[in-house]
């Protein structure tokens, strides 16, 4: 039986952390957004080059823990080539999952599935969501034709619905 921490740091998560996808600055981009997760010290800079309403190229420059960097890497992999509407839908669904909703069966979230275990660790949910809330901010700013404001995950838990958190075993902390 996998322990809770093993289920959190699955091999695919560690692989994204060690070899983050999209981890290079773009020479040419339309939007640059940055986000911080003060509770863990994670930081992300997101650069996007659009082709019409599609994400042509995505740069995700992460500094932080394995959960935030792997989530950003998965995001780069998932949204490149997708439309703004598709990427927004993935971001919204992933947010809902992290706040306790069931995993969507109608949407392919790629490697993000490996981050499912994070929702059992409320403090890590902000790590996993940092790149995605930064993305949503970048999308909104792009739609409004302005530069994105820096994002912080501070207060993110305030929108979260109460989570059904059960830590089994419970003796390792």
Is 31 or 33 the residue whose CB approaches Zn ion more closely? 33
Pinpoint the alpha helices (H) of 30-159.
66-79, 84-98, 122-144
Is 44 or 138 the residue whose CB approaches Zn ion more closely? 44
Number of residues that bind Zn ion (CB under 5 A): 6
Instruction: State yes or no: residue 68 binds Zn ion (CB under 5 A).
Output: yes
Name the residue among 125, 80, 78, 66 with its Cα closest to residue 98. Answer: 125
CB of 126 to Zn ion, least distance (A): 7
Q: Select from 44, 48, 58, 65 the one that contacts Zn ion (CB under 5 A).
A: 65
Task: Please identify, among the stretches 2-10, 27-35, 65-73, 97-105, the one whose residues bind Zn ion according to the rule CB under 5 A.
Answer: 65-73
Contact by Cβ (8 Å): 30, 48: yes
Q: Select from 40, 89, 96, 141 the one that contacts Zn ion (CB under 5 A).
A: 40
Q: Select from 36, 42, 88, 112 the one that contacts Zn ion (CB under 5 A).
A: 42
Task: Characterize 35-50 residue by residue with b for buried, 16 or more Cβ atoms within 10 angstroms of its Cβ, and e for exposed.
Answer: bbbeebebbbbbbbbb
Is 68 or 70 the residue whose CB approaches Zn ion more closely? 68
d(CA 16, CA 76): 11
d(CA 18, CA 12): 10
Could you tell me where the beta strands, DSSP code E, fall in 9-53?
31-37, 42-51
Interactions with Zn ion, residue window 91-130 (CB under 5 A): 127
CB of 65 to Zn ion, least distance (A): 3
Residues that bind Zn ion (CB under 5 A): 40, 42, 64-65, 68, 127
């Amino acid at each position: 039986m996998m322990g809770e921490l093993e289920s959190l740091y699955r091999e695919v998560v560690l692989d994204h952390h060690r070899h983050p996808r999209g981890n290079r600055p773009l020479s040419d981009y339309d939007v640059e957004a940055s986000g911080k997760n003060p509770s863990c010290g994670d930081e992300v800079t997101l650069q996007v080059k659009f082709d019409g309403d599609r994400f042509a190229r995505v740069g995700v420059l992460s500094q932080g823990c394995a959960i935030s960097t792997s989530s950003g890497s998965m995001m780069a992999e998932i949204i490149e080539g997708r439309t703004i509407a598709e990427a927004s839908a993935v971001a919204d669904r992933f947010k809902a999952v992290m706040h306790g909703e069931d995993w969507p069966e109608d949407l392919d979230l790629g490697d993000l599935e490996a981050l499912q275990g994070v929702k059992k660790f409320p403090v890590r949910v902000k790590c996993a969501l940092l790149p995605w809330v930064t993305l949503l901010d970048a999308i909104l700013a792009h739609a409004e034709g302005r530069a994105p404001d820096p994002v912080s995950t501070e207060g993110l838990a305030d929108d979260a619905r109460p989570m059904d958190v059960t830590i089994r075993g419970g003796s390792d902390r």
